[in-house]
Amino acid sequence: MAEIELPEVEELEEQKIKPFTKKVALTTAIFAVFLAITSLGGNNAMKEMILAQQQASDQWAFYQAKVIREHLYRQQKQRLEMDLLEKEALKPEVKARYEALLQETAKEAARYGLEKKDIKKEAEKLEHERDVNRNKDPYFDYAEVLLQIAIVMASISILAHSRSMFGFAIISAILGALLSLNGFLMLVRLPFFH
């Protein structure tokens, strides 16, 4: 009769642990994918925030330049009006030249006044974009932390063969994924993040 060799208890335990190890390793890989996506979202939010701030600053500088030009034309218009009042006995052709210059100056001042309004709207739009991206950033930051904790805890659960540690990793990853999703979609505003 052939002899049947029974596996030892340690070997059976090792076989029992392998499915758990595989499951945790696969789950950890999924956590890493979420972490990569979250990191990308956070980096993009930060870049968009900085770019919008730079563009808004440029628009405000342009706005200031328009305001200064408008102010200069208004001053020039006032000076021309005063010159006309002071010099009542001007030749008709000189007076006509003064009045034409006065109209041209007023027209330029009005043009700069209109142009600055469009520039202001663009600057405010860029500031809004900056603020939106600034508000997204903390969600990505905390999501990254939670996903990194999930990866570490999942790795520890493999080494310690601890299902409770793996459960903690899953909870941490779920919270991280939810924060990441909120960073992209801004469905909920958490007051302590702003």
C-alpha triplet 51, 53, 54: angle, nearest 5°: 65
Nearest-angstrom CA–CA distance, 18 and 11: 11
The DSSP annotation for 114-169 comes to HHHHHHHHHHHHHHHHHHHHHHHHHHHHHHHHHHHHHHHHHHHHHHHT-HHHHHHH
pTM: 0.76
Q: Which pLDDT belongs to residue 89?
A: 75
Q: What is the pLDDT along the chain (194 residues), one digit of tens a residue?
A: 446 555 566 765 665 668 888 999 999 999 999 999 999 999 999 999 999 999 999 999 999 999 999 999 999 999 988 888 887 777 888 888 888 999 999 999 999 999 999 999 999 999 999 999 999 999 999 999 999 999 999 999 999 989 999 999 999 999 999 999 999 999 999 998 87
Question: What are the residues whose beta carbons fall under 8 Å from the beta carbon of 69, sequence distance 6 or more?
Answer: 108, 112
Eight-state DSSP code of residue 67: H
Burial of 123 (0-12, 13-18, 19+ CB in 10 A): buried
Nearest Cα neighbor of 61 from 118, 115, 124, 123 is 123
DSSP run (H or E) holding 187: none
Say if residues 176 and 144 touch (Cβ distance below 8 Å): yes
Nearest-angstrom CA–CA distance, 81 and 17: 94
> How many Cβ atoms sit within 10 Å of the Cβ of residue 142?
20
Distance of CA 166 to the CA centre of its chain: 33
Token representation of residue 95: 């007076």
Q: Which pLDDT belongs to residue 5?
A: 59
